Amino acid sequence: MEICSKGGIVMKIVLAPDSYKNSLTAKEVAQAMRKGFEKVYPDAEYVNVPMADGGEGTVQSLVDAKHGQIVTEEVVNPLGNKTEAHYGLINKGNVAVIEMAEASGIQFINQFTQNPYITTTFGTGELIKSAIEHGAKTIIIGIGGSATNDGGAGMAQALGAHLLDANGEELQYGGAMLKKLTKIDTSEMLPELDDVKIIIASDVTNPLTGPNGASHVFGPQKGANSEMVEFLDEALSHYADILKRDLNQDLENVPGSGAAGGLGAGLLAFTNSQMRSGVEIVVDYTDLKEKVKNADVVVTGEGQIDFQTKFGKTPIGVAKATKEINPNATVIAIAGSVGEKISELYPLGIDAIFTCVPGVEELSKAIQDTDKNLQQVSENIARLIKNTN
């Protein structure tokens, strides 16, 4: 399709990428793609839609897409130390966007400090509390990248729940302490919680306990050896029993309850919450389907694309949303690196996949040149489109 600047047909190009980890935000990626396309199609209609999948970058993407604001709060990190964490407010402050990793993420621990017996989600609860105090009525919370295995107990404590041992004393932080839990008292939880809807952005389907549960699957990457894994699994199972008895919440085998060391279960138990695919949430809140309705080309992408991309990642989410509403649109994905079995992605709505790295080079160099490389490959894709129309 040729573009005529005076009364002719104008191509519509929607740029809906995720961030490129350690390099560019989703907004910056979209801008780089646009610069490349504009060299070939200067008169096209461009719509930039920064995207995310509920993981790292979700806050920034939705704040950019909805012209929101970033809020900074001092909270407790997984090891109980103070840190600054950020979350977003969008839709005139009615919606908050939180990444639990900002407060309780694995980046706060190392090989010397990792210990899922003691790490806590208390800071995540503090972010939720802050968002409510700022007036949010809906909270989107991405729960990937956690350093914790406490079933969301710390989160609940930050919101006013009392988790008590046999002596009526408050439990200390950490997943191991759940073995001592004898009673849960929610009478002093933040009353505003009743009027707040929490949407859990997660594509994890693991149950809380068992061989596919939080401790067995995710515990080792947080520092748990085999003995610790068994202990933590037993602690979460005991926790699940108390949740069922005191809160009438039977969550032990609910898909997704094992996400983020059991934070999924904690949110479901203590708040008015529901689980949804992260990228589907972002598709909704960015109004992506409306924006691609009459698009000719939709360009998406992220740092790496491989067969795992089909499991709830942004490129597939964008492709599915586009083809559902506009089957004739061409969907192109651009990645920093392309892995195995990408042919599995084509039946899911992606028409072509490109890498923006021009050749073999050091990772640090590729990251440094991401903006330039994205512009170059985008220009080349635009030239190819122009030549075939």
Give pLDDT tens digits for 29-54.
Answer: 999 999 999 999 999 999 999 999 99
Residue 340 burial (10 A CB sphere; 0-12, 13-18, 19+): exposed
The three-point CA angle 108-134-270 to 5° equals 65
Token code pair at residue 381? 């894709």
Check residue 362 and give its pLDDT.
77
In order, the DSSP letters of 340-361 are: TTGGGGGGGT--EEEE---SS-
Which residues of the chain are modeled with pLDDT < 50? 1-7
Q: Identify any residues that bridge with 70 across adjacent strands, giving them in sequence order.
A: 88
Check residue 167 and give its pLDDT.
98
Helix (H), strand (E) at residue 234: helix 226-247
Q: Which amino acid is at 227?
A: E
**Model pTM score:** 0.90
Residue that is written with structure tokens 């983020």 in the block = 260
N- to C-terminal Cα separation, the chain: 5
Nearest by Cα to 18 from 291, 294, 319: 319
CA distance linking residue 217 with residue 210, whole number of Å: 9
Check residue 136 and give its pLDDT.
99
Token code pair at residue 82? 């103070």
CA distance linking residue 322 with residue 325, whole number of Å: 5
CA distance linking residue 301 with residue 81, whole number of Å: 36
Beta strands 12-15 and 95-99 are: unpaired
Check residue 366 and give its pLDDT.
74
Torsion 40-43-47-48 (CA) sign: positive
Residues near 238 by beta carbon (within 8 Å), at least 6 away in sequence: 178, 179, 181
Phi, psi of 72 (to 5 degrees): -110, 135
What is the set of domains in the chain, with CATH numbers? 12-50+289-388 (3.40.50.10350), 58-278 (3.90.1510.10)
